[in-house]
Amino acid sequence: SRAPLHGKQVAMSDSWFSSLTDIVIRPPRRSYTVCDFGPRDFELDGRAFTRVDFKLTNDRGQVLECSHFLPRGENGQPLMNVPCVVYLHGNSSSRIEAYDVLGWLLPRDISVLCFDFAGSGHSGGDYVSLGHFEQHDLRVVIAYLRENVAASAIGLWGRSMGAATAALYAADDHGLAGCVMDSPFSSFNVLAEDLVNSGPITLPGFVIRWALQEVRKEVLSRAEFDIDELVPVDQVRRATSPAMFASGEDDVVVPPHHAERLFEAWGTSNDEGLGAGAERELVSFPGGHNDARPEWFLERAANFMEDRLLAATAAKGGQILGRSSELPPSERSEVVAPPAPSPLPAARLPPLPPTTPPAESSQPPTPALPSQPAPASVDGMDSSTLGGFGGQAGAEVLQQHLRRHSASRPAPASVA
């Protein structure tokens, strides 16, 4: 049997697990400026909109940077109490990610509120928690909307970490109109095992479990949450909101089976078997975890959200701009095959065109997203390889480090 770790070996092992933990709880922050959002007041498809920037404070005293995109009334003031989608960004990302959905939601008279989770973007906090504390940040944002009557109905649209956060939160908030969850994970530990075993060599289960427990201790010590409790699939059985789950067919970072497990469990706490439970859909599309989403999916997801938000708004007697107060049709959400691609709405991504529209022959520019800061290197491991669990090389990198350091640890008493 191998000798226990001593001296320099212990220090090296501790340093390595600290570095590995950084990838989980301290990925590089997304760098951007508020100017990257474009002008505060703008027109889109002939409609006037405005952006309201503000700050909230979470229950840990950390400042959350928020932006709310709203339609403007005839007097130029923002129209409150209209349907709202709260967009939830992924790991190592920020509220700038909401660019992807603004052009699909605003023309439908749906406001969009995006914010930086604590530990991300411009918000306060030193660490991210992959949904554990983020669900509490979301609760603060939802409370703001409800207490200020700033939304007639609320839906969630999240990606990766943001999708997992939406799943965790929706389990206990039954007042949501609907949720779109793009590439959520069902269990952090299962996700970590998937990521490691997606590489060219399969590691023994005891090595993976040992490494996860060491990371768990480090996360508990530094960020004060337990990765063993990050199991959204156990929580979503209590959910009641309509939901759309989506995943990339080629995603090796968060494989499609995570969305499938969540889909099967959603809203089934009081029911038996698949087919029971809350209303839900499962959608897949070509591409990997960090690839651009196809237009047909964004349109379908926006239609899904529009129908549920307008139904909830009509039921509450809220504002439905440019429409009657009757409940909207829901046939679109029942389509199984993806609709044919349609042209992007004008100026899909900010900076959006100014109030004076350009000549018909000119095309609004598509801006470059804010540049990503140089990734931090931790113990020879480039943390960008796992940003948002992102980067297809993440599994191989993890495997290399696990093999390197498992060789010097004591052999287990027994192997399950």
First to last CA, the chain: 17
In this prediction the pTM is 0.76
Over residues 181-240, the pLDDT tens digits come to: 999 999 999 998 888 777 666 777 778 888 889 899 999 999 999 999 999 999 999 999
Q: Which residues pair with 157 in a beta bridge?
A: 87, 180
| pLDDT of the residue at 411 | 41
Write out the DSSP string of 108-133.
Answer: GT-EEEEEPPTTSTTSS-S---TTTT
Q: What is the largest CA-CA distance in the chain?
A: 79
Write out the DSSP string of 267-319.
Answer: T-TTS-SBTBSS-EEEEEESS-TTSPPPHHHHHHHHHHHHHHHHHHHHHHT--
Over residues 336-369, the pLDDT tens digits come to: 333 333 333 333 333 333 333 333 333 333 333 3
| pLDDT of the residue at 250 | 96
| pLDDT of the residue at 72 | 94
* 183 CA to centre of own chain: 8
11: left (phi over 0), alpha (psi -120 to 50) or beta: alpha
Which secondary structure element, helix H or strand E, spans residue 167, and what is its range? helix 161-170
Round to whole Å and give the CA distance between 193 and 305.
33
Q: HSE of 317 in the Cβ direction (CA atoms, 13 Å)? A: 0
| pLDDT of the residue at 63 | 98
| Residue corresponding to tokens 């052009």 | 103
Q: In a structure prediction context, what are the per-residue pLDDT tens digits for the chain, which is 416 residues long?
A: 444 544 444 444 455 567 778 888 999 899 998 888 889 999 998 999 999 999 999 999 999 999 999 999 988 899 988 999 999 999 999 999 998 999 999 999 999 999 999 999 999 999 999 999 999 999 999 999 999 999 999 999 999 999 999 999 999 999 999 999 999 999 999 998 888 777 666 777 778 888 889 899 999 999 999 999 999 999 999 999 999 999 999 999 999 999 999 999 999 986 544 446 789 999 999 999 999 999 999 999 999 999 999 999 988 776 666 543 333 433 333 333 333 333 333 333 333 333 333 333 333 333 333 333 333 332 332 333 333 433 333 334 434 434 444 444 444 333 23
| pLDDT of the residue at 372 | 35
| pLDDT of the residue at 112 | 98
Q: Which residues pair with 106 in a beta bridge?
A: none
